[in-house]
Every structure is written in structure tokens, then in C-alpha cells.
Structure 1
Amino acid sequence: MVVLAVGSGYSQADSAAQPVAQSGAAGSGTQETTSNQPEQLTAKLTELDAILAEKQQLEDALRIEKSAQSAAALQSSNTQKLIRLEIEDFFAQSSNRARLDALFEEYKRSADEEDAARQRVESVQRDLAAKQLKFSQAARDVERVKAQLASEARKRNSKKIQSIARRLDKTIYFNQPISFRCSTSKSLAECLAGYQHDGRMSQWVLEHYERVLGEEIRDQVETLKLSPNWYSYRTKSEFSEASMSLDGTVEAQVSIQAAVTAKKMMPCAILDVPYDLCDSRTHSLIVRSNKYNDQVLINEQPHGSTPVSLMLDSGTYEVQVVSGGVTQKRTLSLSEDQVVRFKF
């Protein structure tokens, strides 16, 4: 007999669903689906845990019943041996009939127990097989909901990346006060000509770029913290004001122009999302039709009613619009922003 004992790494505690914000890109049907997906995932995980607990109970019951079956089989075998010995003694006229009848009764009883244990084992095995099938189906449902949530999160992050990426490259202007000591034997012009920023330019650019960019993308990132490794820059500077005291202390204002160029991974670093999203090419796909309350499916996934606006990676997509029982289909090779119109 084959014992079905399948373990699982799924548990609700290990796979708690994280809330996902609604995306305003799709139609009203998509928003409702997205808002319900975290609760759906939690329900699926709870169902999966319950099925797993039932599976474990069945596996325990199967071990108990198989042990009972083995004990009954051993008892039956021992009784058979005693019967053979008793029959030999009976024909040798050294045993009486009562003893032989008792052994036959014992054999029948142990055989019945063995048969009942076998039937219980088969019943538990059938239940366990059915439970394993149910568990597999529930596990697939969990993975499907997780994939949907991941897809929605990827789409939202792609939109944020594109929104932020357009605002990263910029030229900033600022004045920086400085103070340094110079030899009193030199003129102010000579002191200014020999002044070195001593690596402070990088910090100045970081502080002003972070402030300017933080105000501009406050709708996407509440608190912005940049790293100099995320961008490169070129600067031009000149002294706008300067004075020198008798002890050689120079006080000056430096006017700085910094042209900042973001690296490709910078939007992902700011949003703290996987860097591969910044490597992929995403495009806008807008689906429209001349019907009200229609339904849009892209690669067989529902996206609500038109108009539907999505950010998608480059690739091939099958777009369906259903209205009044009529379905229209188009296959698109998305390599740039595209608007698709359906007419019924």
C-alpha cells in the first residue's frame, strides 16, 4: 500500500498578505478587484492552513490504522500457525475438538479485525488523496492571488518610476557661503584664485539637489534621502561676493551651477523597489470603445470597463473587449505608447 504523506511550507503566519494601494490607472472594475485582493489572499491562506491541518490529522490516523492492520495481520498469522499445529494433533488423536473449534473462532475474529483495519486504511487513504488534491488546488489559488498582487504592485511601481524619472535630470543654481584663511601677504583676488573646495562641492550639490528634488516629487516620496552614487554632475562656479579682513579671513559667496544626470537605477533606489523595474522598457496602453459598461481583458486578465490605462512592459498582448455578449479581439506587439479603439 502507498501512504500519501505530503508536507507543505505554506502557512498563514509565514505568508501574511501585505496591503496594496489602489491603482487609479484602470477602470472602476480594476480598482475594486485590486482593493479586494489582499483580503482574498488572506482568505486563501487561511483555507490553505485549515486543509493542511486536516491533512496532518488524516496522516496521523493513517499511521494508527496501518499499525492496527499490522497487529491484526500478525495475530491472524499466529492463529493460523496454532490451527495447523492443532489439526496435526487432532488427526494424531492427541487433541480434542473443543480446542480446535476455539482456534477456528480465534482465527475468524483476527481475520475480521484484519479486514476491518484494511478497510479503514483504504478509507483514510482515499480521504487523504482527496485532501491532497484540495490542498494542491488551494495552493494554486494562493499563488494565483500572489501573482495578481505582484503584477498590480509592478504596474503601480512602473508608473511611479516613469513619473519620477522624468524629473530627475535637472540643472540647479545656488549660492554657497564660504570662509577660509589666507596669507595677509596676498591680495583678495590671489586668495580667491587659489581657493580649493576640498571636496565640499559634492556635499553642496547633494544638499541642494535633494532639497529641490524632494519638493518636486513630494507627491510620490514623502521623505527623500539621496546618495551621491545615484547620479553624476558637472558644475560651474564663480565668486559673487568676497571680502578679506586684516587677519587674512576671507568671507565669500560662491554662485554654483550644477547639471545633475541621474543614473538608470536612481528611480528604483528612491522608491526602494527591485532594480530590474528600471531596466525594463515600459509603455502606456490605453483601451477605448464606443460602448458603456463593457469589459476589458488583457491576456485573459480582467481590467474593468473602458477607458483603461495601463503601464506594461514591451511584449505581445491579446486585448479583448466584451460588450452585450459580443467580443472583439486584437493582438498587439507593444513597443511604444499606444491607444487602441474598439467600435461595436
Structure 2
Amino acid sequence: MPRLNRLFCFLISGLLLSLSGTSQAQTHWIMATGYPQDNFFTHNIEMFIKEIEEKSDGELTIDLRPNGTLINHDAIKRAVQSGQVQIGEIRLGVYGNEDPMYRLDSLPGAATTLEQARQLLEAQASYLEKLLSEDSIIPLAYVPWPGQGFFTSVPLKSVTDMQGMKIRIYSQPTRQMAEQLGFQATILPFAEIAQAYSTGMINSLFTSAQTGIDIQVWDYAHYFTYTGTSHSKNTIIVNQRAFHALGDELQRIVLEAGKNATERGWEMSRQAAASNQETLVENGMQIDQASNDIQQAIGQIGDDLLTQWRESASPEARDVLDRYLQMRSGKQD
């Protein structure tokens, strides 16, 4: 009997240790994003999650809820801040009313190429990190959208063709731009675009080719007039408390996966810019470069909006802009 008791105690101890180890391995996060499964942003997030789960040997797992199925896209920042979900993806420009820095990259002409967008990020990064930390949020990765353009049912040859069109845009700067060009502009989240088309609320879009593909825009429009204009950014963010609850090694894994997602995402955006336009053509759409008339009008509006931005921004934020403009002009020299 004593021998059996010792064996029994040994088995029970081993089971308790096993259960204890399992409980430590069950850190589980939920991640919300507003974009569909086949969007390149979502593919990048899936690789980000896979890297974390593999390098942590399953100690940290992340359940991704794409396409706004869990939380409306515009509400994700608040959900992460409050801890409703631990991690999410946001579009910075959505929160431009909270601080001018959030909308800087969506100003027309602020960053018309991916190279300029990367320089802007370098100038912004520390400011954005401090800004988000005030809301108990840590930024992990930044990924740019490809250049923008107009989706319409008729060709846009000049600014006069835009007069009275009802357009969906995604931020206050793009709304101001569209209205000054002559559009009737409405800010709508991604998930509401198809319904807005079907009800006649809109008959055109200003967005990237990627968004056009996501909503199968060829059902509503026949022309894509490319302008470049801006390369705004999405950001992967994590709740500060959830992050600091991880051990040092898990924190390192998450931060490294975020850096890798940034580098990979930049290249994915570059590739998407070319392949997405091919997809539009394959679905019967005509792609044109914006006329000088349109580009000049957008450029002038962008200059005016940048002046307004300076007036609304703090001295520290204006320093960020000046640093970026110096970097951009230095590269062009």
C-alpha cells in the first residue's frame, strides 16, 4: 500500500504541474479589424499572428475577427483602449478630431508616394507613440494604403465633371477636398459603402484600388481616375495593460512581430498598388491618370489644408511636419 500511495501521489503531482503549465500557456487575445479576409492588410495581420503564436509556442494566441464582424471599424480604437478587446487595427485618419497628427497623412499632397509616406512615419513615430500612450494604447505596426483615386460611373476629364456628384470619402481632409472640388461628400465607414451605393446615397468614391476590389466596385462604377494624392496609414494597436501583463519574452516576441508586420506591410502595399489596378481592368474598368486640371486643383486644396493644419496643431506637431518636409526636400535634391 505505501508503494501504491507514493505512486498515486507522484501521478497527482505530475498532473497538477501539467495543469499549472497549461494555465500559464493560455494567454488569449481577441483582435478586431474592419477589413475583409482577402484584403492585404488582413493577410499581413494573419502573418503577424502566426509569427507570435509560433515563436511563443502557443503561449499567446490571438483570435482575429475581420470585416467589422465583432466591432465597427471606427470604434476599434475605443474598444482597445477600454480593454473590450486586447488588440486591433485602426486607420489613423478616423481620429483626426482627437489630434491633428492623426489626420496629417491623409492631407492631399502630404505624401504622394510610398517613399514619402515612410519619411512621414519616421518623423511622426515618437509623437504618435506618445499620443496613443495617453489612451493606454501601444502602437505595434504601421502599414500604408496604396495611392488614392476616384471611382465614377462616367469619365473624369476635368474638375467640371465632378460638380454635384455624391461621393463617399473617409476623413475630414478628404471631405474638405471633395467639397472644394464640387462633390457632395459623405464620410462613411468601409462596411456601409455597398448599401450607400444601393440606396443612391453615393454614386462615386475617393479611395484606393484595394477598397474598390474589396467592395467589387465594378458593380457600381466603370472608371478609376488615379490621383496618388495621399498614402494614409493603418496601425496595429494593443491595450497597454494587456501588453504589460505578458512576460518579458512574450513582449519581445510581440514587438518583433510588429516590426516585421510594418516592413512586410510596406512591401505588400507596393505590390498591391500594381496588382489591384490589373484586377480592376480584368473586371471591365477603365483606369486613367488624373488630368493636370484635376491634379492642380487638388494640389492647391492640399496647400490650403496644410496651412489650416498648422494653425490647429501644437508647436510639437508643427515641428514633426517641418522635420518631415526637410527630409522630403533633402531626398528630392
Please confirm whether the aligned pair reaches a TM-score higher than 0.5, indicating the same fold: no
Larger radius of gyration: 1
TM-score (ref. length: structure 1): 0.19
Looking at secondary structure, tell me which structure has more strand per residue: 1
